[in-house]
Structure 1
Amino acid sequence: MSKIALRNVWFQLHKWIGLLLAILIIPLSLSGAVLVWDEAVDHVLNPARYATTGTTTLDPQRYVAAARGALNPGERIASLALPERDGPVQVTAITPPDPARRGPPLRTTVYLDPPTAKILAVGTSARGVLRVLHNLHGNLLVPGVGRQIVGWIGVAMLLSSVSGLWLWWPTVGRWARGLRWRRHRNTDTNLHHLFGFWIALPLFMLSLTGVWIAFPQVFAGIGGGGTGPGARGPGGPGARPLVLERPSLPLDAVLSRAGSVTPGNIARVEWPTDRKPEWKVQFAGSTPAAVTVTVAVDDATGRVKPARPERETLARTMRRLHDGTRMGFAWQLLVFLGGILPAVLAVTGIIMWWRARGWKAALKAKQRARVAA
Structure 2
Amino acid sequence: MGRRGRNRRAARAGSATRRWSAALHRWLGLLVAAVLVFQLASGTLLLYRPEIFALTHPELFAATAGTVAAGPAEALAALHRALPQFSTSYAASVEGVWQIWDADYHRAAYIDPGTGNLLGTAEPDGGFWGVLLNLHDCGLSCETYPGYVAALNVTVPGADELTWGGLVLGVLGLALLLLTLSGTVAWWPSMGRFLRALRTKMRPRLDRGAYRAHRDLHDVGAVLALPLIVVWAVTGAGYALPFVGDAWYAVTGGVAPEHSFTADAAPEGAPDIGPDAALAAARTVLPGQELVFVIPPGPDQDHYLVGFQDGVAPARYGGVRTFSESDVAVDPHTGRAALYDGGPGQPWPEWLWESGNYGVHFGYLVPWWARALWFAAGSVSVYLVGSGLWTWWWRRRRIRRAARPVPAPRRAAAAVEQVPAE
* Structure 2 residue ranges without an equivalent (≥5): 1-11, 142-151, 154-163, 250-254, 263-269, 314-323, 413-422
Contact 1:206 1:335 in 2 (8 A): no
Distance 1:321 1:247, change over 3 A: farther
Q: How far apart, CA to CA, are the structure 2 residues paired with 1:369 and 1:152?
A: 51
SS in 1 for 2:100: strand
Corresponding letter in the other structure for 2:20: V
SS in 1 for 2:335: coil
Give 1:302's aligned residue. Answer: 335
SS in 1 for 2:169: helix
Give 1:162's aligned residue. Answer: 181
Equivalent residues, number: 343
Residue 180 (structure 1) aligned with residue 203 (structure 2): yes
- 1:172-219 CA-to-partner distances (Å, cap 9, x unmatched) read 963232222118543322211211222223212221111111213553
Give 1:347's aligned residue. Answer: 386
Give 1:278's aligned residue. Answer: 303
Cα displacement (A) at 1:2? 4.3
TM-score, with length taken from structure 1? 0.75
Give 1:19's aligned residue. Answer: 30
- 1:237-296 CA-to-partner distances (Å, cap 9, x unmatched) read xxxxxxxxx97223455466667888879834331345553335568x94349x767765
Map 1:292-331; keep pairs closer than 5 Å: 297-303=330-336, 309=343, 311=346, 313=351, 314-327=353-366
Give 1:101's aligned residue. Answer: none
Give 2:20's aligned residue. Answer: 9
Give 2:140's aligned residue. Answer: 141
* Structure 1 residue ranges without an equivalent (≥5): 96-105, 235-245
Corresponding letter in the other structure for 2:222: G
- Worse overlay, 36-45 or 348-357: 36-45
Larger-gyration structure (1/2): 2
Corresponding letter in the other structure for 2:36: I
Distance 1:260 1:309, change over 3 A: closer
Corresponding letter in the other structure for 1:360: I
Cα displacement (A) at 1:123? 2.9
Give 1:119's aligned residue. Answer: 118
Residue 215 (structure 1) aligned with residue 227 (structure 2): no
SS in 2 for 1:191: helix
Q: How far apart, CA to CA, are the structure 1 residues paired with 2:295 and 2:25?
A: 47
Q: How far apart, CA to CA, are the structure 2 residues paired with 1:55 and 1:265?
A: 21
Give 1:39's aligned residue. Answer: 50
Contact 2:70 2:113 in 1 (8 A): no
Cα displacement (A) at 1:29? 0.6
Distance 1:125 1:47, change over 3 A: closer
TM-score, with length taken from structure 2? 0.67
Contact 1:70 1:110 in 2 (8 A): no
Whose helix proportion is higher, 1 or 2? 2
Distance 1:7 1:317, change over 3 A: same
Q: How far apart, CA to CA, are the structure 2 residues paired with 1:166 and 1:304?
A: 51
Contact 1:170 1:177 in 2 (8 A): no
- 1:111-130 CA-to-partner distances (Å, cap 9, x unmatched) read 12233333223234662333
SS in 2 for 1:219: helix
Out of 337, 355, 360, the residue aligned to residue 376 of structure 2 is 337
Contact 2:303 2:329 in 1 (8 A): yes
Contact 2:63 2:113 in 1 (8 A): yes
> CA RMSD of the aligned region, Å?
4.0
Q: Percent identity of the aligned residues?
A: 26
Out of 28, 33, 49, the residue aligned to residue 60 of structure 2 is 49
Cα displacement (A) at 1:149? 0.5
Q: How far apart, CA to CA, are the structure 1 residues paired with 2:135 and 2:61?
A: 26
